[in-house]
Structure 1
């Protein structure tokens, strides 16, 4: 019984190979079929006409895959220095900042003195403050995009402002 089934399957597989016919109609369209057609010619198929795709062998790495970390921007107050004592009787103070890595495009900078925002955001990374009271102050500078979203802030910088006293 097994031999009969095996022979039947072999015979069916031999009959399953069909002839392919090709013809061109009056509009110039090329047609292919497994049924004969007037003016059709037999297409000989060989193994080179079969599509074969060779996939590259995947490489196996023992290193764990890591996702690209987002860029961490830093706002650095370059002037005045940490715990610097400034002497100015008018209470004038200049604050300079930089952003690393450098960003192309327009940024806005906002300065906070003792937790209070001073003025409106500006494009220049240099602030000129006037009439600041003497004593200890904390400075923080925020860098923001044009839409007002803060993307980086400086570390708080403590400074001391001294003014000459009449007493």
Structure 2
């Protein structure tokens, strides 16, 4: 256990050694393991150290003679951080029961931020895209919707078709219309 602090100390000192220097390992009479760049005796053996990990540092704030924050005209401009658009499904409401014989489902989107240039909306029913091409329309009628429970969500894709963001799915229940002439079982 006493060797652990010594090992940690030497691990901090090792990067300061020249790259070509040999590192030796030996154990003293008390059983303590030591590391060093000079072997104290013939019993010291070259240490088998793991591959050195190099982590690049941050670039200097400014070159000498340049004020801090001065830009390098030869450097590539950093791409602007592309903010993901924010949107939500305005209709249908979660767990909404839709009673309709038309088998159509109307979906509306509420955008809290503008769409990026060239981006469009894709409407999904049960995870399947319902429009082949992205659209700028904030509403979509989805046809041929069978009875039962369905998941509806909307995604934003960029001009290359890459999905940027997708709303959480909303579950809706499509049911047949309530019959007006249904028998009253209470009589």
**Which TM-score applies when normalising by structure 2?**
0.47
> Is the counterpart of residue 137 in structure 1 residue 116 in structure 2?
no
Cα distance between partner residues in 2 of 1:135 and 1:144: 28
8 Å CA contact retained: 1:113, 1:140: yes
> Is the counterpart of residue 110 in structure 1 residue 122 in structure 2?
yes
Higher relative contact order (CA 8 A, sep 6+): 1
Partner of 2:165: 152
Give the length in aligned residue pairs.
103
Cα distance between partner residues in 2 of 1:156 and 1:92: 18
8 Å CA contact retained: 2:85, 2:116: no
Shift of 1:107: 2.6
Instruction: Return 5+ residue gaps in structure 1 as ranges.
Output: 1-52, 56-68
| Higher share of residues assigned strand | 1
Q: Which runs of 4+ in 1 moved over 6 A?
A: none
8 Å CA contact retained: 1:91, 1:163: no
Partner of 1:75: 87
Deviation per CA, 1:3-32, whole angstroms, max 9, x where unpaired?
A: xxxxxxxxxxxxxxxxxxxxxxxxxxxxxx
Q: Which has the larger radius of gyration?
A: 1
Shift of 1:104: 5.7
Superposed CA RMSD in Å reads 2.7
Question: Which residue of the other structure, out of 97, 104, 112, is the alignment partner of 1:100?
Answer: 112
8 Å CA contact retained: 2:157, 2:164: yes
Instruction: Return 5+ residue gaps in structure 2 as ranges.
Output: 1-64, 68-80, 183-187
Cα distance between partner residues in 2 of 1:71 and 1:104: 8
